[in-house]
Amino acid sequence: MAIALEILRYGGSNLMDEKYENLSLAQRDEFRRIANKLLSNCFLCKKKEDTKKDYYFVENHKAVFINYFKYIGWELEINETYGVAHLINTYNSNRYQLKLYESIILLILRILYYEKMQEISLADNVCVDVASIQDRFMALKIREKLIDKGTLKTTLRLFKRFNLIEILDSDLTREDCRILIYPSILLAVRVEDIKKVYEKLDTYKRGGEDLEEANED
C-alpha cells in the first residue's frame, strides 16, 4: 500500500501555474493544509466526516493539486465513483512498509468490505466487528490462535490514521467492537495486491518462513 510520508515543502509561486495565482489567500491556505494532509494520510474520503470538506476542495481545484504534485513526483487520483482522492508516487518510493500481520488484517478488511458490498449499496456504510476479523483470520489457517489484541489494536489504529477505517467503539479488545470501512480500502488494496498477499500467505502455510518476523510492502 503506497502511503505518502514526505512533508510538503511549499516551493513558492515558481512551482505554480496561473490557476494557483487565481486562488484567494484563504484558498491558498486550504490548499497547503490539504496537500500536507494528503501526503501524511494518503486518502481523503467523501464519506468520512472530517475529510469530506477536504475531498470536495480537491475535487473543485483538482488542476492545481495535479500540477503541484506532478512537480514533486506524485500523481493525484480522484475516484468519483468511490468518492476518494489519494496520491500515487510516480517513482515507486515513499511506501509504508507493512508487517505481514498488518498486510493480513488489511487483506481481511478488504475482503469483508467486498462481501458486505454484495449485500448493500455503495451509498451505505460498511461496518464489521472485531469478531469478523478474527474469524476470517482463523479461516486462513495460518496459525491456530487468534491475532493478539496488541497487534490488532496497533494495526487498526494505523489504518484509521490513513483514513481506511473508523473505529466506532472505544474498546478494541471486545469482539463486538465495530469497525467502519471506507471505500478507500478498494484503492489501498487492489485486485493484484490481493493476489500477491495470498501468494505470500501460501509460503507460511507451507512453513517456509517465520510469520512473526515477516514484512510485506
Residue-wise pLDDT for 111-169, tens only, equals: 999 889 888 876 678 999 999 999 999 988 888 899 999 999 999 999 999 999 999 99
**pLDDT per residue as tens digits for the range 55-74:** 999 999 999 999 999 989 99
In a domain, 217, yes or no: no
**Distance between CA atoms of residues 188 and 200, nearest Å:** 18
Kindly state whether residues 45 and 140 are assigned to the same domain. Answer: no
- For the ranges 20-29, 138-147, 190-199, the maximum mean pLDDT occurs at 20-29
Q: Are 146 and 105 in contact (CB under 8 A)?
A: no
Pick from 89, 108, 136: which residue ends a domain? 89
Kindly state whether residues 29 and 127 are assigned to the same domain. Answer: no
Q: Are 117 and 126 in contact (CB under 8 A)?
A: yes
**Distance between CA atoms of residues 85 and 76, nearest Å:** 7
Query: Any idea what the CATH number is for the domain that residue 170 is in?
Result: 1.10.10
What angle, rounded to 10 degrees, do the helices at 25-41 and 49-60 form? 120
Kindly state whether residues 109 and 191 are assigned to the same domain. Answer: yes
Whose CA is closest to 183, among 76, 46, 37?
46
With 0-12 / 13-18 / 19 or more C-beta atoms within 10 angstroms meaning exposed / middle / buried, residue 141 is: exposed
Whether the predicted pLDDT of 193 surpasses 60: yes
Q: Are 142 and 211 in contact (CB under 8 A)?
A: yes
Kindly state whether residues 172 and 109 are assigned to the same domain. Answer: yes
Kindly state whether residues 55 and 144 are assigned to the same domain. Answer: no
Say what the pTM is: 0.82
Pick from 57, 89, 121: which residue ends a domain? 89
Using left for φ > 0, alpha for ψ between -120 and 50, and beta otherwise, residue 158 falls in alpha
**Distance between CA atoms of residues 105 and 155, nearest Å:** 8
Q: Are 197 and 216 in contact (CB under 8 A)?
A: yes
In a domain, 8, yes or no: no
pLDDT of residue 7: 31
In a domain, 7, yes or no: no
The residue segments making up the domain with residue 79 are 13-89
Kindly state whether residues 82 and 112 are assigned to the same domain. Answer: no
pLDDT of residue 215: 46
pLDDT of residue 211: 55
**Distance between CA atoms of residues 10 and 16, nearest Å:** 10
Kindly state whether residues 120 and 82 are assigned to the same domain. Answer: no
Task: Give the mean pLDDT of 67-85.
Answer: 94
Kindly state whether residues 62 and 116 are assigned to the same domain. Answer: no
In a domain, 19, yes or no: yes
Whether the predicted pLDDT of 209 surpasses 60: no
**Distance between CA atoms of residues 190 and 79, nearest Å:** 13
| Averaged pLDDT score across all residues of the chain | 84
Number of structural domains the chain divides into? 2
Task: Give the mean pLDDT of 76-82.
Answer: 95
